[in-house]
Structure 1
Amino acid sequence: MPTTSRSRIVLATAAGLASLTATAYILPQAIGAAAHAEPSAELLAGLRVLLSNDDSMQAAKASHADGLGLYEMRKALCAAGADVVVMAPWQVQSGKGTAVTNGGALTLARRTQLPAGYENDCTGAPSGSPVYGVCLSDDACGAGTPSATPADTVKFALRSGLAAKVGWADGPDVVVTGINSGPNVSAQVNDSGTVGAAVAAIDDGVPAIAFSSSSGDSTNSYFPVANYRANAEFGARLLAGMRERSLFTGKFAVKVDYPDVSTGRRAKAPLWTDIGHGKVVWHDYAAHRGGGDTFDIVPGVCADRPGDSCTETVRRADSTALLSGHVAVAPVTADRTYGATVDDGKNLRKLKHYVEQDAPRP
């Protein structure tokens, strides 16, 4: 979700989203199917995964908003047999969308001491499963060094980084981005660096899946490990099923948003959705207290602004599904062309069928 360190900011919350006026989500008949058993770990054996995000690889904040979800996803994928290499932004780059850097130099900083509890998650992986942060510098990355964008990290990894650092000259089998701290639904999808990184992958013809998790409090300032972990475990099983059915495609990215389960409720079955048109976070700009030509960036919850175009009108919107407790799955095309049909819809139809009838249940 978009953030800025110099702004007075109130981010969208699950409670705030729920107060949006939305059309009812019609459940497919197949959603009532019984839960599916977890796939064998062997289903991801040998799968080469590039893992990135927009929250950085720091995972140092008590809020868990700066990359902890990435380590939960890494843990789940490695436990399922995948070979995972992380190349992620050096600093938090939330809200960067598909932005890229057009000049200068990129430097990799390998993390040798991983966050507590995640040190041995990928022991024995053929690549060594390194974790890299990518900064904008021709020198070592430091505390204040600017960061590469999410799209930078994926483009760099696919075109140079993976070949140079782990010998993957023909690239990964799939790019996974996230787990983002906060949902990426409706109009804010265009702002999402997590989704932007996935779009960068399909720009190069590499399959990509972007994962995001809901927050666990009314201010969207705390992101429980429970949400990341449930999302990651579901994500590993989802990838296993997609791989088994040959559903990986570079024609479009797949966006997966996971509801809040930190209070003990169980996520509902995944739904195939469209990206909504309603606003979720409303970006506003107020005169700075010092006056002059300075303005504060003051995003807020859309529902707090009566009269703004916050009403969701898309019938099968991702935000509506998520707020009703379902895992929301939606395709994202790279060209953003209205009404575009990718591959005559063949791959979309196959994936939609999988999500609605055969995908794992949380």
Structure 2
Amino acid sequence: MASVSQSIPESVTAAGVDGAAVPDGETSRIPALIAEELERAMSCSREVIDLAVTTFAAGGHLLLEDVPGVGKTTLARALAQAIGGEVHRVQFTPDMLPSDLTGVNIWSQGEGGFVFHRGPLFANIVIADEINRANPKTQSAMLEAMSEGQISVDGVSHTLPDPYFVVATQNPIELEGTYPLPEAQLDRFMACTSFGYPDAASESRMITADDWSHPLGRVRRVCDPAAAVRIRAAARRVTIADPVADYIVALSRATRDRDGVRYGASPRASLYLAAMARARAMFDGRSYVLPEDVQQLAVPVFAHRLVLDDAGYGGESLAAARAIVADVVRAVPVPRA
């Protein structure tokens, strides 16, 4: 994504504060402005920030997997603060029940019947902290919300807010008391990435910084939920030519035929890679997708979906899957004009 150094236009900031509509001509600029705000608060690489914003603009959900203390939750909160809208944070624990997420029907004497009390999933942005600490039954409560934008309680469907975005974090090294995310749920996350440790210079700046205020205090609100909906609509209008679509399918099929891979990238993964490539092209000011967009995004979109023959759990398995996808990207011929 191209870097944007200009200040936030008054019309954009007004949309975040007053709820006014952002002009259509400025809609495609908002994701880059969001990324600039996140960079003010984070010490992670710009690549991670761009991926988070790309995932949001593409209409997907993001899984952040890394060691504790590198800023996963801070990134999720900063993104929520820049986008605006209602934000709920859920700390997942082993004793959590599905109703703790979805909500529950409670008898009301005054109403003379059951009244539905909404759970924390009813928000524009849901921060799911340490999602792999919840038991599989509770994790399954997220599936309908993430894939269909609704939840069902006692046979009644309830529509979730639009836009809807889940940012989940998990710490792969903390194996005790955690439950591996099932393949069906991993497949609902459009992208997965890791922070890694900051470089020495960035870590030194963190230590010697004069400003000890919380980094979220430096993040300004860029847009409102209505503008976020238009961002996603604009990304869907980006064109993917037939050769590039065929290239995406070739990459996906290559992961399925790869030695050592039990289950490769699903058709949903192909659709998600196309959606991410569209969003990346929009950020760069293009109305069409290039093969380079696909190449840059294949690893974060495909890797966490692969099930390896000798699959373990945690960072080693994910690292092996990323290496496989990177090798596939190098091996599959790139379409030429």
Question: Normalised by the shorter chain, which TM-score bucket?
Answer: 0.3 to 0.5
**TM-score normalised by length of structure 2:** 0.33
**TM-score normalised by length of structure 1:** 0.31
Structure having the higher Rg: 2
